[in-house]
Amino acid sequence: MTTNNNWFRENIRQVHIDFHMPEFPRDAINNFNAREFVSHFVKAKANVIGVFTKCHFGNAFYDNSVGHKHSGLKEDFFGEVLAEAKKHDIRVIAYYSLGTDAHAVLHNPDWYQVDEHGKVRGSEGTVWELPCINSPYREELVIPQVKEITEKYEMDGYLFDIPYLHNHFCFCTYCKKKFLEEHGQELTPELLRTNRELVIGFGIDSAARCMKEIHDAIKKIRPEVLVNCNGAWRMGEPASVNETSDYGLWESQPSATGSFLGHSIRARHIRTLDVPVQIMTVRFTEGWGLMSCKTAEQLKFEFACIMANGGIINIGDQVMPDGSLQSGVYDIIGEAFSFVKEREAYCIGAKSVRGIAVIADNTSNWYHDKDDSATFGSAKMLIEGHHQFDIYYNDDFPDLTGYRAVVLPENVKLTQESIDRLDAFVRDGGLLLAEGAATYSKEAKDFGLAEALGLHYLERTPYPFAYFTENEELWKGVARIPQLVEGEFIKTIPTTAETLSLIQWPLTVPDVNRAFRHPMPPAGTISDFPGISVNRYGKGTALYVAAPVFRTYWNSNHFWVRRIITNLLDKYDTNKYFEVTAPVHVEANLMEKDSKKILHLINFQNIHAGEKSSSFYDPIECITPVHDIKVSINDKRIRSVTLHPDNKRLVTEATEKGIRFTVPKVHIHAMIELSEA
């Protein structure tokens, strides 16, 4: 990809303005004024905005000859906002709703997507009326409209929303015809059950072809314009779709998962890529379009997580039905963007310093599936343990030179070539931590890294949970009792591995006449199988945990599991570049820019939970500063440290490995510049 996207990398105060607007409101878009509209972004110090050309309802917001312009819009909404934004050096991304268009399908019912039950996807009184990209919708509306917009306006980029068929399959007449032509067999719901991979692959290929056609049409007219589809370059996205996008976009709203860790975790993957990627949050407290507004304190925290970890900030807003914006929202966003502006010079273009490589899988169903709990659980553990790490997708990990350790969650999918590379990494002196079924091969009925791990796979246990027996060193900060892991253990046969903790079975699996006070009975018989083991292999060390600790930690938040694994890593990962003594809610991350290393410390607190079944997450109203954080830098070249953005030199003390110092206070985000001078 040769597109110059430097401007996109260097402008990280971005706002996306949703404008999905039906036509029934009597006074729809009667109060739009481009000058006043753009003034909010100027006030808020935004430098990139996403502006609508067509919404989910199929309404165009520009002076069009193709498609249906919103009946309440007298002006050229997109064109006027674009012209006004240019006066203030604000870049403009043109938003286009691709996968949802109510006007198109309601007027052309044969364009509807059709599900496996023969029902059209839509017509249920919602915004989700779904046209099929394999129907003439593409040729008769999408491509002509995109060409018209591109020829008419000098925008800076595009965002195409929802490039995929819903769940990656459709049984409309057009899909059936194209599938028969390509695969020589009928596309049927039965085939979805018997050969799901083939059907889903066809759906993904359809999206890639559609985006390729759109991409090429735009580039032919304006080669300099950046093109993107929502979801491109996120972890697990198909390469064929990524190739059509000059930048990436990974949506990340705390209310979607209940977790504030999503921004940091996503950024630790996208910073390993060669393209700039937005991490998109929203102003709303619960879901797109709920006209609420987070506090400036919360937005500062969210923005710090994104920029300090290598991402590009993008925050979503919603235009009011009358075509105006809510001024008070931009007071809040402006305060948060001022916070960003103070810090962004240390963040833009920074690269991660190598420490631990997490190599894992992630869901591949785009918007409709949650992120994988094993991947995100491993990241949650490492963040809370103050470890430095990056995240890679399966085989897409680089030369591991510079990494001290590799972590393999149970879900990782690796080729033999990748397994051989990891085997060599350990033999040459690296540290490996694998859990559960990581690298297990159904064909070989053994771990791909059996020799490095020093044990062979035997079978899964019959119990849905079990316990680790106590190990004094690993039980620091944990009650000296057998510790529960709420997941299926794996029986292994050690060859050269040393057992650190055994699996202890529960007394039974509750059933008729075998009930206990709690559905998970206490520990019973101690087995002969290792729960945690260590193996010296060549010059390196391989650790193995016989339970899906990462998945279960993400799903249960059982702190003792994290503490045991953190103690395990701390015992064997003895060459950390930095060590931070701070509460688990303080995140530490080391980046490098212009040959200078910057240690970021990010502080998080939220309020007490209410009813968890109905409250999506616990918002942040106020973050209490943390004081006197102890930091050790294990690099004898470092002579001084400076706290930013205060530009305050901190007192240091020499240690055997380097220096140590105390950060007096971290409110939300502090940056410590490490200098050899």
CB of 199 closer than 8 Å to CB of 176: no
Rounded CA-CA distance 672/50 in Å is 33
- Give pLDDT tens digits for 420-434: 999 999 999 999 999
Helix axes 34-44, 77-87, angle to 10 degrees: 40
Lowest mean pLDDT among 492-506, 608-622, 627-641: 608-622
What's the pLDDT at 170? 98
Quick check: 383 pLDDT over 70?
yes
Quick check: 123 pLDDT over 80?
no
What's the pLDDT at 256? 74
Mean pLDDT of 330-349: 98
Locate 544 and state its tokens: 């193995």
Grouping H, G, I as helix, E, B as strand and the rest as coil, residue 185 is coil
Quick check: 155 pLDDT over 90?
yes
CB of 276 closer than 8 Å to CB of 312: yes
The CATH code of domain 354-576 reads 3.40.50.880
**Which of the two residues, 17 and 607, has the higher pLDDT score?**
17
- Give pLDDT tens digits for 159-203: 999 999 999 999 999 999 999 999 999 999 999 999 999 999 999
Say what the pTM is: 0.96
What single letter denotes the amino acid at residue 564? I
Counts for the chain of helices (H) and strands (E), in that order = 19, 32
The dihedral through the CA atoms of 508, 513, 519, 523 has a sign that is negative
What's the pLDDT at 387? 98
Rounded CA-CA distance 377/344 in Å is 29
**Which of the two residues, 509 and 18, has the higher pLDDT score?**
18
Residue intervals in the chain for CATH 3.20.20.80: 16-346
CB neighbour list of residue 188: distance below 8 Å, 6 or more residues apart: 171
What's the pLDDT at 510? 83
- Give pLDDT tens digits for 493-523: 999 999 999 999 999 988 888 888 888 999 9
End-to-end CA gap in the chain: 39
Q: Which residues pair with 280 in a beta bridge?
A: 251, 314
Rounded CA-CA distance 456/451 in Å is 8
**Buried/exposed 47-70: b ≥16 CB within 10 Å, e otherwise:** bbbbbbbbbbbbbbbbbbebbbbb
Residue with tokens 């430095």: 388
Residue intervals in the chain for CATH 2.60.40.1180: 579-675
Locate 51 and state its tokens: 């502006």
**Mode of pairing for the β-strands spanning 540-545 and 523-537:** antiparallel
Rounded CA-CA distance 35/31 in Å is 12
What single letter denotes the amino acid at residue 251? E
Quick check: 615 pLDDT over 80?
no
Share of the chain above pLDDT 70, in %: 99
Architecture in CATH of 16-346: Alpha-Beta Barrel (3.20)
What's the pLDDT at 1? 45
Mean pLDDT of 466-491: 97
Mean pLDDT of 282-303: 94
Fold of 579-675: Immunoglobulin-like (2.60.40)
- Give pLDDT tens digits for 45-82: 999 999 999 999 999 999 999 999 999 999 999 999 99
What's the pLDDT at 563? 98
What's the pLDDT at 255? 77
CB of 342 closer than 8 Å to CB of 12: no
73, 155, 272, 403 from 398: Cα distances, Å: 51, 35, 9, 10
Residue intervals in the chain for CATH 3.40.50.880: 354-576
- Give pLDDT tens digits for 206-255: 999 999 999 999 999 999 999 999 999 999 999 999 999 999 999 998 87
Closest CA to 656 of 631, 629, 632, 628: 632
Locate 583 and state its tokens: 């509460």
Lowest mean pLDDT among 124-128, 140-144, 315-319, 544-548: 124-128
